[in-house]
Structure 1
Amino acid sequence: MSTAGTLQQLIQAAEAKLVDAGIDTARLDAEILLAHVLGCPRMALYGKLADPVSAEAATAFDSLIDRRQAFEPVAYLTEEQEFWSLPFKVSPDTLIPRPDTETLVETVLNQMSGRPVRSVLDLGTGTGCICLSLLHELPGAQGYAVDISAGALAVAKHNAETLGLQERTAFLEGSWFEPLGGDQRFDVIVSNPPYIPSADMADLMPDVRLYEPSGALDGGNDGLGPYRLIAEQAPAFLAPGGILAVEVGIHQADDVKALFDAAGLVETGKVKDLGGIERVVWGKKKLIFQPFSLGMPDKTR
């Protein structure tokens, strides 16, 4: 078997290439991609840095490094990204799940703690990471994942099957609430909608600007267009006491909260992510209390 050097040599050469390309995470990226090619955990590389690498593996690794030099995201190269400690397949049809979005999952679980959750609606589901993570934590719930992209829905379906959640998840192709029946009500509605103002799209990092789907990023002139639609239509689809929770961009939380307040949602709030940025806005539909009789005797008789 011909070899192309040791693991250490390949990692060092790849790191140098990525540094020259201006990639800040050069060493980490090189290790992740080599581990992917070799089919082993990244940390396992450290125990065999002096081992030889086959010419075939080295060629595959070099191909991935060339693509990373052009700023293609690592997650697209490995076709996987962890979210909520669960594995999710990703593709160029979907946004790459990010740790900040876990704040949205955590917020819903905290706010609905102690209340039965029977249904979860995820608008713009992408990989399905939000909906499927919630279903993983809420065993009594049924999920409804909506996306306008058939390619994204195919990825979400794959992830549901991988996680054993396919029987509890319905996948609906269409824009926002359009695929739903008018009589459907949900205990939880979540979304990580496009929220980048159109004028800011050109300033995004090249990893994002060149590769991630623009339709999942561009939120219109002020970045608030999707939130206006969601705030206007979501209350009709919320069950009494149900929660609407969305991810927001930097400096958008106050504006989105005002939209939720104006829509008649109650107990509205904002939640910061681990970086201290207001990342999630939520509100609930008011509970309806029915009058009831205590069965007291009629003293007028």
Structure 2
Amino acid sequence: MADAETVAAALTRARAVLVAADTPSPALDARLLLQAVLQVDHAGIVGQPERRLSHAEGELLAQYLARRLAHEPVSKILGVRDFFGRSFDVTADVLDPRADTETLIDLALRQNLPQPPRVLDLGSGSGALICTLLSEWPEASGVAVDLSEAALAVTARNAKALGVATRLQLVHGKWFTGVAGVFDLIISNPPYIPTAEIDGLEPDVREHDPHLALDGGEDGLSCYRAIAAGVAVHLAVAGRIIVEIGAGQAADVKAIFVAAGFAHSAEQADLGGHVRALAFAKSST
């Protein structure tokens, strides 16, 4: 019976279930779900293989596995995602922050910005970007903008949990609506999936990330055009704007910002070798 199953047996069974369903990273997912059920870390799993699950624990593991088999990401099941060494609350209202997006943080931290910088995050979602940068720069202040009130609520929770809430202003609006002042760094991970390609995305993304955070218009570039058109008045003279892009979009996004009067200043590739983040400065010409 499930309530008499050992930790080792439960882990083996969970992994087999996910392998049979051809889910990505079944071993990792099985371990993370079981750790959450038992409320232990990896060492807790390894160190007590013969411990038997209670009935309630067995039931909860079954529920988690059913949700994963329905393509719900582990982060959404557990409500938490690790990003740049910190834990963030995530919900169905926000994009699941992924490792590729950490390239934007890497690129931002390489910039020679006035200290402490003032940072603007356009489309903050979970707040992973702005809260990470405010954590990395303890004297910095920032503004987070999102069209979704529910997403802003997640940003607020994460900011409070990470101790940066007093340095962060939340603005409900689209892009620069309601934003005042100039910033040393403006960041954004905007929607960049062409509308026609959304139905072909992996179900983990298509069914569990908000389409508002995915749909980049007919060619996937509409948000970059909107940002480039409004950013100049909010970017400090020596400031930088850094955006995440989709694979293969680098040339098009560079062209959009150059046409708007900016100079491409730096870029960062993800672990797959694709240029994932682009930095721009105000053009000196």
Q: Residue 193 of structure 1: SS of its match in structure 2?
A: coil
Residue 67 (structure 1) aligns with? 67
Counterparts of 2:284 and 2:87, CA distance in 1: 36
Change (3 A) 1:170 1:249: same
- Pairs within 5 Å for 1:129-208: 129-181=128-180, 184-208=181-205
Q: Residue 280 of structure 1: SS of its match in structure 2?
A: strand
Map Cα deviations across residues 46-98 of structure 1 (whole Å, 9 max, x no partner). 11111111111111111111111111110011110011101100000001111
Matching of residue 212 in structure 1 with residue 227 in structure 2: no
Counterparts of 2:202 and 2:264, CA distance in 1: 36
Matching of residue 125 in structure 1 with residue 118 in structure 2: no
Post-superposition offset of 1:268: 2.9
Q: TM-score, normalised by structure 2?
A: 0.96
Counterparts of 2:166 and 2:14, CA distance in 1: 43
Q: Which amino acid aligns with 1:39?
A: Q
Post-superposition offset of 1:9: 1.4
Q: Residue 23 of structure 2: SS of its match in structure 1?
A: coil
Residue 42 (structure 1) aligns with? 42
Runs of 4+ in 1 over 4 A off after TM superposition: none
Q: Residue 81 of structure 2: SS of its match in structure 1?
A: strand
Counterparts of 2:213 and 2:131, CA distance in 1: 19
Counterparts of 2:97 and 2:272, CA distance in 1: 16
Q: Is the 8 A contact 1:257 1:269 kept in 2?
A: no
Counterparts of 1:128 and 1:268, CA distance in 2: 25
Counterparts of 2:147 and 2:56, CA distance in 1: 40
Aligned length: 284
Map Cα deviations across residues 131-181 of structure 1 (whole Å, 9 max, x no partner). 111111112211100001111111110000100001000111111111213
The RMSD of aligned alpha carbons is 1.6
Residue 57 (structure 2) aligns with? 57
Residue 266 (structure 1) aligns with? 263
Counterparts of 2:130 and 2:18, CA distance in 1: 35
- Name which one, 1 or 2, has greater alpha-carbon Rg: 1
Post-superposition offset of 1:286: 4.9
Q: Is the 8 A contact 1:120 1:131 kept in 2?
A: yes
- Segments of 5+ residues of structure 2 without an aligned counterpart are none
Matching of residue 78 in structure 1 with residue 75 in structure 2: no
Post-superposition offset of 1:14: 1.6
Counterparts of 1:29 and 1:5, CA distance in 2: 19
Change (3 A) 1:53 1:100: same
Q: TM-score, normalised by structure 1?
A: 0.91
Residue 105 (structure 2) aligns with? 105
Residue 281 (structure 2) aligns with? 284
Change (3 A) 1:230 1:91: same
- Segments of 5+ residues of structure 1 without an aligned counterpart are 289-301
Counterparts of 1:72 and 1:241, CA distance in 2: 43
Q: Residue 96 of structure 1: SS of its match in structure 2?
A: coil
Q: Is the 8 A contact 1:71 1:207 kept in 2?
A: yes
Identical pairs, percent: 41
Q: Is the 8 A contact 1:257 1:268 kept in 2?
A: no
Q: Is the 8 A contact 1:257 1:270 kept in 2?
A: no
Matching of residue 250 in structure 1 with residue 247 in structure 2: yes
Post-superposition offset of 1:186: 0.6
